[in-house]
Chain A
Amino acid sequence: MQQFPCPWCGHRAEGEFHYAGDAGIDRPDRTVDDKAWAHYLYFRRNAKGAAHELWIHSAGCGRWIVLSRDTVTHAVTGSEPMV
């Protein structure tokens, strides 16, 4: 079992966290066309390697965090509160 760092709780078992999608996806203005809206909803970078992801520490403090994680090695290199 891998341990993930929570900015609030320290290192905890990965099973306490749940993945919730890419970090840093901005909701576009509601006047954008269907293509731009679909891009926002569905199209993803799907990075091989370094990724920034939203996770929730659901079985811990319940806070949303941003994990810097490598999708090839699974190494977690950073963790910060979601702003």
Chain B
Amino acid sequence: MNAVKRHYSGWSVLREGLRGQTGWTKAWHDRDPAPRYDVVIIGGGGHGLATAYYLAHTHGISRVAVIEKGWIGGGNTGRNTTIIRSNYFYPESAALYDLSVSLYEGLSRALNYNIMFSQRGMIEVAHSEAELEMMCRAANAMRINGVDIEIIDRDEVLRMAPILAPDLNVRWPVLGGQIQRRAGVARHDAVAWGYARAADSLGVHIIQNCEVTGFEIACGRVTAIETTRGRIVADRFGMAVAGHSSVLAGLAGFALPLQSYTLQAMVSEPVKPCLDVVVASSSHGAYVSQSDKGELVMGGNLDRCPSYAQRGNFPVTQSVVASLVEMFPSFASLKLMRQWGGIVDTSPDNSPILGPSPVEALYLNCGWGTGGFKAIPAGGTLFAHILATGRHHPISAPFDLTRFDSGATIDEGHAGVAH
């Protein structure tokens, strides 16, 4: 396979068009594991690949491997509904997720890979006076934290999303909403592929079909991992495996405050452009955006019980579809085209866990729950800092595992915001 240094540009598209598309090379190398690295990252999703990129790019550590049990971006990175936003309640969360949105804004250029970030805005609809008041409270907190949130009235919501049902004599009428205009959607596969290509060009090894089967631990320190493709030694190990974090932690001999659930998503058949903003409703427990292909991309709440099955069960599928048909009556004539699920690792306070694990030389990037995709650039930046220096970044420090012992949890779950 040829090297991958080629710069993507309008000129390269034009030149390849004239040369019959014969000059393209693969975007990254599919490596075999070497026996030793400085840092090994377990999990080749967005967070793992981004961490590898920032380790090489920002910290100059290029003897890095990302090992992935399947194919890169095949887990939650390829299964989410691609929404990027930072409308969180607490200052700690605002700093984290707003860093992520800011990094996403410059990511296509930084990676020389078009991630198609479309900042179309996201509206959270309020359906009662009480909900609108709580939304204003949350919006005020977010604005104090520096996040671009506005409260908009009913007319503005209906102007931006004219296919919303305008009726006032229904269970949950549209009374107003909250909008983050910098929020939007991106091409999820491109985020994984863009980070993979950029990391690979800096010397990172991307190793697919390589599953961790055990840890070698001496005097409380991980010294090597056993994998389906042999033993790998490294100075530090990072795990970014989302829904399977507890399984991996179990192999290393500790438990985590996580519960794995299926989060499902689904798309309708493609239709002509009809919705150019992301719309979400907490009361209904559903949200929707329209993809570039024209499909309506829909999702809702977690499934009703813990699960490692990447498919989702029927009651939640039914409730998401029923809710969206109530909000958008015209959707009733559409067919559902595909439905799938990803396994998300939910934490007790609906905030992620970043930092050291109970075992030395093994570090955690987990607990993102339903919101991992939006956090990829920040998660990668902070996790790379932790792996490179062995210390927290100021933004990641509040998300340390020890917050559950001290009681300093960051409870976005009970803050009354979407998470």
By beta carbon, the residue of chain A nearest B315 is: A15
Q: Would you call A46 and B315 a contact (CB within 8 A)?
A: no
27 CB contacts below 8 A, A to B, read A2-B314, A14-B304, A18-B304, A19-B304, A19-B306, A34-B405, A35-B405, A38-B257, A41-B348, A42-B348, A42-B404, A44-B257, A45-B255, A46-B256, A46-B259, A46-B260, A48-B244, A48-B260, A51-B306, A53-B305, A53-B306, A69-B305, A71-B260, A71-B309, A72-B308, A73-B309, A74-B307
The 5 closest A-B pairs by CB, nearest first: A46-B246, A42-B257, A19-B305, A38-B405, A43-B255
Q: With a CB–CB cut-off of 8 A, which chain B residues contact A69?
A: 305
Contact yes or no, B313 A48, CB < 8 A = no
Taking a contact as CB atoms closer than 8 A, the residue among A1, A19, A49 that contacts B314 in the complex is A1
Q: B259 near A38 (CB under 8 angstroms)?
A: no
Q: Which of A1, A42, A51 contacts B315 (CB 8 A)?
A: A1
Residues of B within 8 A of A48 (CB): 244, 246-247, 260, 308
Question: Taking the complex as formed, is B169 at the interface, i.e. its CB lies under 8 A from any CB of chain A?
Answer: no
CA distance in complex: A45, B250 (Å): 8
Interface residues of B in 373-419 (CB under 8 A from A): 404-407
- B contact residues around A19 at 8 Å (CB): 304-306
Interface bits A9-31 vs B (CB < 8 Å: 1, else 0): 00000110011000000000000
Query: Chain A contacts of B247 at CB under 8 A?
Result: 46, 48
What residues of chain B have their CB less than 8 Å away from a CB belonging to chain A? 244, 246-247, 255-260, 304-309, 313-315, 348, 404-407
Closest to A19 in B: B305
- A44 and B255 within 8 A (CB): yes
What secondary structure prevails in chain A residues at the interface with B?
mixed
Question: In the bound complex, do residue B256 and residue A43 qualify as a contact, i.e. CB atoms below 8 Å apart?
Answer: yes
Identity of the chain A residue whose Cβ is nearest the Cβ of B346 in the assembled complex: A46
Per the bound structure, the CA–CA distance linking A49 and B404 in Å amounts to 26
Q: How large is the interface on A (under 10, 10 to 19, 20 to 34, 35 or more residues)?
A: 20 to 34
Interface contact A74-B313, CB-CB below 8 Å: yes
CB of B313 within 8 A of CB of A46, answer no
User: Which of A18, A42, A45, A72 makes the CB contact (< 8 A) with B246?
Assistant: A45
A15 CA to B313 CA, complexed, in Å: 11
Given contacts A14-B315, A48-B244, contact A71 B257 (CB under 8 A): no
* Nearest A-chain residue to B306, judged by Cβ: A71
Known interface pairs A35-B405, A74-B309. Does A44 touch B246 (Cβ–Cβ under 8 Å)? yes
B306 touches A72 (CB 8 A): no
**Residue of chain B at shortest CB distance from A20:** B305
Per the bound structure, the CA–CA distance linking A45 and B255 in Å amounts to: 6
Known interface pairs A46-B260, A46-B306, A48-B246; 10 further A-B residue pairs with C-beta atoms within 8 A, sorted by A's residue number: A14-B315, A15-B315, A19-B305, A39-B255, A42-B404, A44-B246, A46-B258, A69-B305, A71-B307, A71-B308
In the assembled complex, the CB of A66 is this many whole angstroms from the nearest CB of chain B, namely 13
For window 43-78 of A, CB contacts with B under 8 Å fall at 43-46, 48-49, 51, 53, 69, 71-74
Q: Which residues of B contact A49 (CB under 8 A)?
A: 308
Task: Enumerate chain B residues within 8 angstroms of A15, measured Cβ to Cβ.
Answer: 315
**Across the interface, which residues of A come within 8 angstroms of B244, CB to CB?**
48
Residues of B within 8 A of A74 (CB): 307, 309, 313
Q: Identify the closest chain B residue to A72 (Cβ).
A: B308
* A48 closest partner in B (C-beta): B308
- Distance in angstroms between the alpha carbons of A43 and B304 in the assembled complex: 20
CB distance from B10 to the nearest CB of A (A): 47
Say how far B313's CB is from chain A's closest CB, in angstroms.
7
A45 nearest CB across to chain B (Å): 7
Q: What is the minimal beta-carbon distance from B308 to any residue of chain A, in angstroms?
A: 5
The distance in angstroms between the C-alpha atoms of A80 and B370, with both chains bound, is 32
A25 to B40, CA, bound (A): 35
Please give, as numbers and ranges, the residues of chain B lying within 8 Å of A45 by CB-CB distance: 246, 255
Which residue of chain B is the closest to A1 with respect to CB atoms? Answer: B314
With a cutoff of 8 Å between Cβ atoms, the chain B residues found around residue A51 in the complex are 306
Q: How far is the CB of A76 from chain B (nearest CB, A)?
A: 10
Instruction: Select A14's contact among B256, B308, B309, B313, beta carbons within 8 Å.
Output: B313
Q: A19 to B256, alpha carbons, bound, how many Å? A: 20
Chain B residues within an 8 Å CB radius of A46? 246-247, 255-256, 258-260, 306
Q: Which residues of B contact A38 (CB under 8 A)?
A: 257, 404-405
Q: Which residues of A have CB within 8 Å of B314?
A: 1-2
| Chain A nearest Cβ from B359, distance in angstroms | 15
